[in-house]
Amino acid sequence: VQDPASAAAPAAPRNAASLRELVAATSSDAPLSPELTCLAQAVYHEARGEPLDGQLAVAQVIVNRATSGRFPDDYCS
């Protein structure tokens, strides 16, 4: 059994086909990677009063921008 404190944080998928991959990357007990923490904070600040579908839509926009080449290629920038 691997110690959760020593487990590697899940990497943020750069070319997520959908947000399902992103959610799957956060489904373990391992701590979030810095990029997924930035994404979670952005969703919280932009859509905290929205239902889950609205929050997921905001997250999808951020992921799309990061992969578009027209915006910074990470979630923290």
DSSP 1-43: ---GGGSPPPPPPTT-SSHHHHHHHT-SSSPPPHHHHHHHHHH
pLDDT at 2 over 70: no
pTM: 0.63
Q: How confident is the model at residue 44 (pLDDT cuts 50, 70, 90)?
A: very high
Whole-number pLDDT of residue 31: 79
Whole-number pLDDT of residue 48: 93
Q: Is 54 exposed, middle or buried (0-12, 13-18, 19+ CB in 10 A)?
A: middle
